[in-house]
């Protein structure tokens, strides 16, 4: 009797586990269909690449002209590395001839100094790749980042290499950027980067809802336009 009961419990547990997996797959499918519909409505491109061979799933949405691209990366649970789940908005416009500037959430002065020290260490380039999604060339600038005064505790924390200290000035205090940070955990607030690659926004979260994705794509285009106006 006891053995039979144990078998029944194991079978029920297995069925429950499979049901949870099936529900998650269906939910993910509905979310992707909603994103695809949103892209079609706005004449954006859409492509989804499922996770395979240990590689993370990727969803790419972009402007047909190639002006910008938004990428959602969702690694499998247990995949190592803090960059396994994130969303980026990227545009090749506004590329700098040299250097790097990073505008992140507002941090206490002491915390900002600690971050500067960590990025300036021997692991700075690696952190640039993992936390900021930078390529090898741009990541090599990370150890040279220094904190720059933004004249306001709510305007974000700006770090830049010496030749790029003014690269993100037009975006400091931008109302749309401040609104995107309001009420959001510091870890998941959008980070703005500008370097030889252009400009990018990065959120350390794999966005799933169409509202979140549209909001980030709109914010990226808004900030890009702000740089256009300031530098025209």
pLDDT tens digit sequence for 127-182: 666 666 676 667 788 888 888 887 655 678 898 999 999 999 999 999 999 999 99
What pLDDT, on the 0 to 100 scale, is given for residue 60?
A: 95
What pLDDT, on the 0 to 100 scale, is given for residue 47?
A: 94
Domain spans in the chain, listed from the N-terminal domain onward: 1-41, 45-231
Q: Give 201's strand partners.
A: 89, 192
Alpha-carbon gap, residue 189 to 146, rounded angstroms: 20
Alpha-carbon gap, residue 88 to 90, rounded angstroms: 6
Angle, nearest 10°, between helix axes 124-132 and 109-119?
110
What pLDDT, on the 0 to 100 scale, is given for residue 80?
A: 44
């Amino acid at each position: 009797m006891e053995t039979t009961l144990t078998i029944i419990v194991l079978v029920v547990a297995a069925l429950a586990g499979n049901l949870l997996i099936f529900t998650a797959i269906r939910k993910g499918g509905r979310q992707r269909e909603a994103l695809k519909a949103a892209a079609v409505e706005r004449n954006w491109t859409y492509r989804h690449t499922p996770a395979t061979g240990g590689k993370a799933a990727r969803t790419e949405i972009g402007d047909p002209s190639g002006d910008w691209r938004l990428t959602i990366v969702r690694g499998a649970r247990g995949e190592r590395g803090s960059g396994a789940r994130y969303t980026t908005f990227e545009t090749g416009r506004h590329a700098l001839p040299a250097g790097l500037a990073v505008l992140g959430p507002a941090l206490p002065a002491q915390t900002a100094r600690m971050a500067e020290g960590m990025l300036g260490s021997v692991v700075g380039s690696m952190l640039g790749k993992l936390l900021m999604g930078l390529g090898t060339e741009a990541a090599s600038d990370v150890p040279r980042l220094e904190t720059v005064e933004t004249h306001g505790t709510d305007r974000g924390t700006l770090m830049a290499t010496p030749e790029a200290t003014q690269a993100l000035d037009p975006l400091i205090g931008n109302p749309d950027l401040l609104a995107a940070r309001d009420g959001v955990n510091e870890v998941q607030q959008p980070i703005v980067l500008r370097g030889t690659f252009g400009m990018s926004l990065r959120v350390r979260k794999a966005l799933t809802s169409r509202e979140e994705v549209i909001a980030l794509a709109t914010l990226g285009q808004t900030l890009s336009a702000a740089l256009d106006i300031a530098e025209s």
